[in-house]
């Protein structure tokens, strides 16, 4: 399987990250992220933080946010000065510092690797951030806060305020299916993924703590 996006991305998008062969983490918003030891990732690997999780990982290379309401609530997150990305067209119009990627079909829960900056949905920002790392050419990925259940609450920071949406059971069921259903692409590209969310219902990747993973990978 050839990752065309990793090959051609740098020539297409000025913001593109050419991270071929490197290691990165997705820090999402599941409750487990709060006590996962996210600070251990600093200076060890690239990091994409999803929504509020840039507060856990202010050192992140990328801040990814799906929703216009989130960006409006944070006024474009001016305190985050590294790369900011969204798939919501209106965000880039209101906040020029936020760069736009594309989700062609919001019902598509597949990782896309052919076209740089065109990703699958999965119904959540963690999946979309994972798709970006795959396109950037990453070979080892740590997943943090990918819990995909509501037993411990909606997010590590509590529920989003109105008018933002909070997940229902149907949402997390879709998220789980999206992560569990794309191992063929991950394995086909030779990517190693470790799930650092101990209570996660995503069962297709081995689980370990961040500290254990850093030791294993000698980082």
Q: pLDDT at position 84, please?
A: 98
Alpha helices (runs of H) in 47-121, residue ranges in sequence order: 68-73, 89-94
Beta bridge partners of 57: none
Q: Domain spans of the chain?
A: 4-214
Q: pLDDT at position 164, please?
A: 81
On whether the CB atoms of residues 4 and 135 are closer than 8 A, the answer is no
Cis-peptide, bond into residue 100, ω within 30° of zero: no
Q: pLDDT at position 137, please?
A: 97
pLDDT along the chain (219 residues), means of 10: 90 94 97 97 98 97 94 94 94 91 92 95 96 98 96 88 87 96 96 97 97 98
* Dihedral angle computed from the Cα positions of residues 47, 49, 54 and 57, in that order, rounded to the nearest 10 degrees: -30
Fold topology of 4-214: sialyltransferase cstii, chain A (3.90.1480)
Q: pLDDT at position 64, please?
A: 98
Alpha helices (runs of H) in the chain, residue ranges in sequence order: 4-12, 68-73, 89-94, 125-136, 169-180, 183-188, 210-216
């Amino acid at each position: 399987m050839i990752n065309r996006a990793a090959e051609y991305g740098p020539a297409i998008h000025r913001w593109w990250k050419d991270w071929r062969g490197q290691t990165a983490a997705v820090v999402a918003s599941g409750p487990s992220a709060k006590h996962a030891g996210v600070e251990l990732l600093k200076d060890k690997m690239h990091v994409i933080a999803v929504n509020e999780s840039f507060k856990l990982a202010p050192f992140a290379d990328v801040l990814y946010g799906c929703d216009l309401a989130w960006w409006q609530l944070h006024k474009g997150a001016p305190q985050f000065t590294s790369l900011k990305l969204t798939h919501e067209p209106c965000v880039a119009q209101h906040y020029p510092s936020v760069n736009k990627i594309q989700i062609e079909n919001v019902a598509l829960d597949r990782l896309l690797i052919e076209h740089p900056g065109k990703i699958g949905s999965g119904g959540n920002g963690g999946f979309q951030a994972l798709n970006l790392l795959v396109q950037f050419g990453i070979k080892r990925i740590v997943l943090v806060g990918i819990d995909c259940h509501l037993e411990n609450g909606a997010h590590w920071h509590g529920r989003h305020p109105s008018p933002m949406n909070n997940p229902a059971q149907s949402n997390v069921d879709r998220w789980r299916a999206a992560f569990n259903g794309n191992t063929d692409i991950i394995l086909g590209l030779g990517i190693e993924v470790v799930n650092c969310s101990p209570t996660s219902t995503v069962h297709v990747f081995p689980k370990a703590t961040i500290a254990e993973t850093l030791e294993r990978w000698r980082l």
